[in-house]
Amino acid sequence: MNLSKAALEQLKVIDLTRVLGGPYCTQILGDYGAEVVKIEPPQGDEVRDWGPPFDNDGNASYFIGVNRNKRSVGLDLSKTEGRDVLLRLVQDADVLIENYKPGAMERWNLGYEDVLSKANPGLVHCRISGFGADGPMGGLPGYDAVIQAMCGMFSINGIPNDDEPNAGQTRIGIPLVDIGTGLYAAIGILMAIIERQRSGLGQFIDMTLHDAGIALMHPHIANYLLSGKTPGLTGNAHPNISPYDKFPTATVDVFLAVGNNRAFSRLCMELGVPELSEDPRFVDNGDRITNRKALTQQLLPLLANLDGEELCTRLLEKGVPAGPVRDVDQVWNNDHTRHRGMAADVDGYRGWGMPIKFSRTPGQINRRPPRYGEHTRELLAEAGLDDEHIESLIESGIVLEARRR
């Protein structure tokens, strides 16, 4: 495949983000053909240091995981000359995305309304922040786990039984808010690009971790609004479906996700107890929710002596969603992971593959995550700066090819 067949061919993105939500968004765009110019401050994106593990260039896995298909330039935006370089790069860009503290771009005379939209009327400017620029928490910083706590995720995630030693609220083990914000930002950017085809104008997108965190709280907010009851810890069980939980078997823990009566009937058949689906306590999902504990007590001995992997295969073949609980090593080396191209290994770079599978314009890994400032000279040359000008900017520390420690 060449880039002329990429879905986002000719989309130019100026990426002023760091850490996770923004870089996750721009990696998605880069994976599908956008030209992503990652502009890093003199100290670099701090997640280059979030290790071990580190690669041979000293970059942490945290950085490597969300920064492929980008070119890097070091730039000091605190200096007037640095801001001039950015404006030069923005002139032919489609998107600028940043996650500075609200007001920072305006203080640098780089605000969207007064400067960027006038320099490039078609520019889509996406800002990611913790809480937005205004309101009771406007301008305050936000990090994933903090937003998880504040948006209610801790309150529903954890083991509910107080008698268990590990019971209680806990952080979700992936940075769900950051990743979710990155996904929402990518959607918002592409919607703005589509709208620009009609209006010819860009626009400002105000994305916050706070808003995305709340939007990810389904079905718990919906349940609260309809029932008036504050949701509590769910453990592995689903608040609206039963059986939808983790169960032990003789070999591995398995997860059963039985969402309707037909699937429950098939589960009972496979377990050799077809009469269980006709038990008045378990006939409908509402009954199974009401009698969740009794149902669990029925299922535990039926599953205890079975081969979990083999059971899941049989259930899936019968149309009953079920799967073994795997660790990361097992996932990475799984046959279906490989078949779906989700374990990518390209010229020494390894990472997850393309989750969006286009029939004509597939994504592709064309660049490994960049070293800091690796493309500084070539990007400035493409922006029209001559060698002498570039050299003077490097000598003065306005643009950088190595991190400032």
Last residue of a domain, one of 278, 293, 324: 324
State whether 267 and 316 are in the same domain.
yes
Report if residue 249 sits inside a domain: no
Report if residue 331 sits inside a domain: no
Q: What is the pLDDT of residue 2?
A: 46
Mean pLDDT across the stretch 42-53? 96
Question: Taking the alpha carbons of 229, 230, 234, 240 in that order, is the dihedral positive or negative?
Answer: positive
Report if residue 243 sits inside a domain: no
* Inter-residue contact 404 to 397 (CB < 8 Å): yes
Mean pLDDT across the stretch 247-253? 97
Last residue of a domain, one of 271, 300, 324: 324
* Inter-residue contact 96 to 126 (CB < 8 Å): yes
Find the CATH number of the domain harbouring 95.
3.40.50.10540
Mean pLDDT across the stretch 146-174? 88
Q: Is 164's pLDDT higher than 90?
A: no
Rounded CA-CA distance 134/125 in Å is 18
* Inter-residue contact 121 to 202 (CB < 8 Å): yes
**3 state SS of 273:** coil
Mean pLDDT across the stretch 33-61? 96
Q: Is 180's pLDDT higher than 90?
A: yes
Report if residue 144 sits inside a domain: yes
Mean pLDDT across the stretch 95-116? 96
Q: For 114-252, where are the alpha helices, taking DSSP H only?
A: 117-119, 144-150, 153-156, 176-199, 209-215, 220-227
State whether 50 and 130 are in the same domain.
yes
Q: What percent of the chain has pLDDT over 90?
A: 94
Q: Which residue in 166, 150, 147 sits closest to 158, CA to CA? A: 166
Q: What is the pLDDT of residue 347?
A: 87
Rg over alpha carbons for the chain, rounded to the nearest Å, is 25
State whether 139 and 108 are in the same domain.
yes
Q: Is 263's pLDDT higher than 80?
A: yes
Helix 176-199 / helix 21-31 crossing angle, nearest 10 deg? 50
Report if residue 232 sits inside a domain: no
State whether 10 and 127 are in the same domain.
yes
State whether 88 and 45 are in the same domain.
yes
CA angle 325, 177, 240 (to 5 degrees): 55
State whether 310 and 357 are in the same domain.
no
State whether 320 and 349 are in the same domain.
no
User: Model confidence at 163, in pLDDT bands (50, 70, 90)?
Assistant: low
For residue 350, give the H/E element and its range.
strand 349-352
Average pLDDT, the chain: 95
State whether 349 and 396 are in the same domain.
yes
State whether 7 and 109 are in the same domain.
yes
Active-site residue (options: 92, 178, 307, 345): 178
Rounded CA-CA distance 392/267 in Å is 71
Report if residue 245 sits inside a domain: no
Q: Between β-strands 124-129 and 322-324, what pairing exists: parallel, antiparallel or unpaired?
A: unpaired
Q: What is the pLDDT of residue 124?
A: 98
Task: State CA 75 to chain mean position distance.
Answer: 26
**Domain region containing 284:** 254-324
| Domains of the chain: total | 2
Find the CATH number of the domain harbouring 294.
3.30.1540.10
Q: For 243-283, where are the alpha helices, taking DSSP H only?
A: 261-270
State whether 205 and 265 are in the same domain.
no
* Half-sphere CA count of 192, side-chain side, radius 13 A: 23
Q: What is the pLDDT of residue 167?
A: 82
Q: What is the pLDDT of residue 279?
A: 96
For residue 205, give the H/E element and its range.
strand 204-208
Does the model's pTM come out above 0.75?
Answer: yes
Q: Which residue in 354, 308, 359 sits closest to 330, CA to CA? A: 308
Q: What is the pLDDT of residue 6?
A: 94
Question: Which amino acid is present at 344?
Answer: A
Q: Is 14's pLDDT higher than 50?
A: yes
Ranking 124-128, 166-170, 194-198 by mean pLDDT, the lowest is 166-170
Q: Which residue in 259, 254, 255 sits closest to 242, CA to CA? A: 259
Report if residue 171 sits inside a domain: yes
Q: Is 91's pLDDT higher than 80?
A: yes
Q: What is the pLDDT of residue 223?
A: 95
Mean pLDDT across the stretch 282-302? 96
Mean pLDDT across the stretch 270-296? 96
User: Model confidence at 328, in pLDDT bands (50, 70, 90)?
Assistant: very high
Last residue of a domain, one of 263, 292, 324: 324
Question: Which amino acid is present at 373?
Answer: G
**How is residue 187 written in tokens?**
């959607």
Q: Is 1's pLDDT higher than 80?
A: no
State whether 40 and 148 are in the same domain.
yes
Q: What is the pLDDT of residues 376-400, one digit of tens each?
A: 999 999 999 999 999 999 999 999 9
Q: Is 178 a catalytic residue?
A: yes
Mean pLDDT across the stretch 223-250? 95
Report if residue 225 sits inside a domain: no
* Half-sphere CA count of 52, side-chain side, radius 13 A: 3
State whether 29 and 100 are in the same domain.
yes
